[in-house]
C-alpha cells in the first residue's frame, strides 16, 4: 500500500474512532462536572487510537457489520486513557506533558487526576454494557466483556504495571522480566482489542487465539519502540518528556540490549506479526500496513 493511501485510510479510521468517542463520552453537567470535564479532556487530548482501530479492523476482517462493536471501541480507549492518566501521576512517572498537552493531574490537580482515572475505568465498563442493546447474540458480548476485564486487570495491564513499578531501581532486572512486563502492561490491551473484534464477529476459538498471538507480538514491538524513542527522540517530536525511564531508574529492553538490537527485535516481531496477519480472513492490507507502521513511527 502506498503512503498516500495508507495516510488517507489512517485518517478515516481515526475520524471514525473520534466520532464513536464523542458519541459515548459523558455530558459535562451536574455537581460532579469537574471530573466529567477532566474525563473528556483526557480522552480528547489526542492519541493514535490504535486499540479501537485494531478492534474495529479485526471485527471487519471476520465479517462483522453491526453497531455492537462501537461501545467496545469506545470502552477500550477509555481504559487505555485511564491507564495513562494514572501513569502520569506524581507517585508513578510524574510527567507533566503528554501528547504535547498538560497531563490530567497537571491541569486539574493530583486528587482529580486519581479520580479521573477511576471514573474512566468505571465508565468504560458502563459503556461496554451498551453493546447488549445492539446484538442478537448476547453470549458473544458477555465473552467480550470477560476478555476486556481480564486483559485490563491484575492478570493483564494492571498486573504488568505493578511489576513495572516494583522493578524500578532494582539491579536484578532480566530480559525475561522486561518481556513479561511488556506482555502484560502493553500487549494485553492490544490483545483484548483484537480478540474482542474477533469474538463479536463470531470467529472460531482457533481464530481468536491466532489474533491474540498476533496482538502480543505487536504489543511487545510497540513497547520496545517506545523505549527506543525515549532515548533517541525529543520532547517536541514525542509530545512528552524523553529520558523518563532513565530519570525513574527504570531498566528497559534498550538499556539491557542496546538501541541496535532493540530496533532489530522490533523488526523481527513486526515481521512475524505481519506474516501471521496475512493468514486472517478478509482484506488484511490495512492491518498489515498498520503493523508495519509501528516499526518506523517516531512518536
Nearest to 152 by CA among 104, 211, 81, 98: 81
Distance CA 68, CA 64 (A): 9
Q: Which residue has the cell 442478537?
A: 136
| pLDDT level of residue 22 (50, 70, 90 thresholds) | very high
| 3-class DSSP state of 171 | coil
Query: What's the whole-number mean pLDDT along residues 227-253?
Result: 64
Question: Average per-residue pLDDT in the chain?
Answer: 92
Residues with Cβ within 8 Å of 249's Cβ and at least 6 positions away in sequence, in order, are 168, 169
Q: For position 248, what pLDDT does the model report?
A: 53
The answer to whether residues 113 and 85 touch, using CB atoms and an 8 Å cutoff, is yes
Higher pLDDT, 190 or 172: 190
| pLDDT level of residue 231 (50, 70, 90 thresholds) | confident
| pLDDT level of residue 33 (50, 70, 90 thresholds) | very high
Beta strands in 77-165 (DSSP E): 97-98, 101-102
Distance CA 88, CA 245 (A): 13
Higher pLDDT, 93 or 103: 103
Q: In the beta sheet, which residues pair with residue 102?
A: 97
Long-range pairs for 91-99: beta carbons < 8 A, 24 or more residues apart: 92/165, 93/244, 93/248, 94/248, 95/240, 95/241, 95/244, 96/241, 97/235, 97/239, 97/240, 97/241, 98/45, 98/239, 98/240, 99/45, 99/46, 99/47, 99/239, 99/240
Query: What's the whole-number mean pLDDT along residues 3-18?
Result: 91
Query: What's the whole-number mean pLDDT along residues 102-130?
Result: 98
Q: For position 7, what pLDDT does the model report?
A: 86
Residues with Cβ within 8 Å of 133's Cβ and at least 6 positions away in sequence, in order, are none
Nearest to 187 by CA among 226, 230, 216, 212: 216
3-state helix, strand, coil in the chain (%, to 5): 70, 0, 25
Distance CA 256, CA 176 (A): 11
pTM: 0.92
Range with the poorest average pLDDT among 1-10, 239-248, 285-294? 239-248
**Kind plus residue range of the DSSP H or E element containing 264:** helix 259-277
Distance CA 8, CA 263 (A): 27
Per-residue model confidence as pLDDT tens digits over 44-68 = 998 899 999 999 999 999 999 899 9
pLDDT at 18 over 60: yes
Distance CA 74, CA 53 (A): 10
pLDDT at 27 over 70: yes
Distance CA 85, CA 103 (A): 7
Q: Which residue has the cell 480507549?
A: 77
Domain covering 3-292 assigned CATH 3.30.479.30 in the classification = no
| Residue percentage of the chain with pLDDT more than 70 | 94
Amino acid at each position: 500500500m502506498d503512503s498516500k493511501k495508507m495516510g488517507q485510510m489512517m485518517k478515516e479510521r481515526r475520524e471514525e474512532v473520534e466520532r464513536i468517542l464523542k458519541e459515548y463520552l459523558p455530558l459535562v453537567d451536574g455537581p460532579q462536572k469537574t471530573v466529567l470535564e477532566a474525563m473528556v479532556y483526557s480522552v480528547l487530548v489526542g492519541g493514535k487510537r490504535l486499540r479501537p482501530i485494531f478492534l474495529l479492523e479485526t471485527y471487519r476482517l471476520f465479517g462483522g457489520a453491526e453497531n455492537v462493536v462501537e461501545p467496545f471501541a469506545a470502552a477500550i480507549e477509555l481504559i487505555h486513557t485511564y491507564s495513562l492518566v494514572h501513569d502520569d501521576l506524581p507517585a508513578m512517572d510524574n510527567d507533566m506533558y503528554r501528547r504535547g498537552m498538560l497531563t490530567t493531574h497537571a491541569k486539574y490537580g493530583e486528587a482529580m487526576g486519581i479520580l479521573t482515572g477511576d471514573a474512566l475505568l468505571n465508565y468504560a465498563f458502563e459503556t461496554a454494557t451498551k453493546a447488549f442493546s445492539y446484538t442478537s447474540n448476547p453470549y458473544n458480548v458477555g465473552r467480550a466483556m470477560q476478555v476486556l476485564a481480564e486483559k485490563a486487570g491484575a492478570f493483564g495491564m494492571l498486573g504488568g504495571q505493578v511489576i513495572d513499578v516494583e522493578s524500578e531501581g532494582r539491579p536484578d532486572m532480566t530480559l525475561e522480566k522486561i518481556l513479561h512486563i511488556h506482555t502484560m502492561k502493553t500487549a494485553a490491551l492490544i490483545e483484548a482489542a483484537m480478540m474482542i473484534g474477533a469474538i463479536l464477529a463470531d470467529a472460531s476459538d482457533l481464530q481468536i487465539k491466532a489474533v491474540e498471538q498476533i496482538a502480543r507480538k505487536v504489543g511487545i514491538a510497540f513497547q520496545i519502540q517506545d523505549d527506543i524513542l525515549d532515548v533517541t527522540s525529543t520532547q517536541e517530536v514525542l509530545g512528552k518528556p524523553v529520558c523518563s525511564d532513565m530519570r525513574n531508574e527504570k531498566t528497559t529492553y534498550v538499556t539491557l540490549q542496546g538501541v541496535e538490537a532493540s530496533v532489530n527485535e522490533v523488526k523481527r516481531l513486526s515481521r512475524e506479526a505481519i506474516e501471521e496477519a496475512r493468514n486472517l480472513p478478509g482484506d488484511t492490507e490495512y492491518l498489515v500496513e498498520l503493523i508495519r507502521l509501528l516499526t518506523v513511527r517516531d512518536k
